[in-house]
Amino acid sequence: MTLTGLPLLALTVAATVAAGAATVWSWPRGGRLRPVSRTAGVLLVEVLVVLTAGLAVNRHEQFYPSWQALRGDTGTVAVADHLRAGSLDARMHSSRFPWRPPELTAWHLTGPPTVALPRDYRARPDVTFPVVLVLTAPGEHARHTPEAVTVTLTPTATTTAAALRSLPTALGHDLRVAAAGWDVVGAGPLPAAFVAAEPPGFAVLNQPTGDLPPALAAPLRLPSNGRPT
């Protein structure tokens, strides 16, 4: 019998009426036990009236749609995402190095991007860091942002935003970086096209470095499909 179904509601209504009738019938009867039987009858009717009203309100508002819900059982547990170490984490000898992922040739850059790591990258193996992606003109120096993994690359005339779409996955494979909130720095159409090609919220064009998200441990997540866990 469901908590919000009509059968349960009908049952409590019927029980209330029956208890009321029984209390009225027994009111002048009962002999010496009359105070006790009367008190029990009144209490029973009161409890049933409140129960019926509660069930009716809950049926209408659906606060607790099931017995499970009434018990506080959500059937779901939030679990921490698995934080995967970057493939370069153990092999890095410097906090600034040229980055040569397999996808590099497809990006048609002037050379390998320069990666500059935050000072505490190695000291905090349990967090992912925000990313600053800098697209520079030839001859400009590679940037460094103290709180973020900074990737400086120099595109050529044949570099496209479509080709660079593989960069976030490649960087996520090699280093512990945030999956959203990247800061993309640069002038001209390419940085804007890169931001536009990514999902909304993934990257912001030329935001102040103070607006970068914090370096964080893997978050607790709930399923997006509502299946019990």
Partner 1 sequence: MSTVLTLAAVPATAALLAAGWNRVRTIGRSALVVLALLSVVAAVAVQVNRLTEAYPTEAVAATTAAGSSGSEMLSVTVRGPASGLSMPMFVYLPAAYRSGGGHFPVIEALHGYPGTPLTWLRKLNVQSSLDRETAAGRIAPTVVLFPYQTPERLLDTECTNLHDGPQTETFLTVDVPAYAATHFRVRTDRAAWGLTGYSAGAFCAINLSLRHPQQYAAAASLSGYAEPGINVGDGSQNTTNNPAWRLRHLPQPAIALWLGWAADDKESAHDSRRLAAEIHRPLASTTAVVAHGGHSSAVWRQMEAPAFDWLSAHLARPLP
Residue of 2, 6, 14, 68 that binds partner 1 (CB under 8 A)? 68
In the complex, least distance from residue 138 CB atom to partner 1, rounded to whole angstroms: 31
If binding is defined by CB under 8 A, does position 6 make contact with partner 1?
Answer: no
Residue of 8, 56, 69, 170 that binds partner 1 (CB under 8 A)? 69
Restricting to residues 168-207, which ones interact with partner 1 according to CB under 8 A?
Answer: 178, 180-181, 199-202, 207
Binding segment for partner 1 (CB under 8 A), chosen from 32-40, 84-92, 94-102, 160-168, is 32-40
In the complex, least distance from residue 158 CB atom to partner 1, rounded to whole angstroms: 27
In the complex, least distance from residue 218 CB atom to partner 1, rounded to whole angstroms: 7
Q: What is the 3-state secondary structure (H, E, C) of the chain?
A: CCCCCHHHHHHHHHHHHHHHHHHHHHCCCCHHHHHHHHHHHHHHHHHHHHHHHHHHHHHHHCCCCCHHHHCCCCCCCCEECCCCCCCCCCCCCCCEEECCCCCHHHHCECCCCEEECCCCCCCCCCCEECEEEEECCCCCCCCCCCCCEEEEECECCCCCHHHHCCHHHHHHHHCCECCCCEEEECCCHHHHHHHHHCCCCCEEECCCHHHCCCCECCCEECCCCCCCC
Nearer to partner 1, 116 or 178 (CB): 178
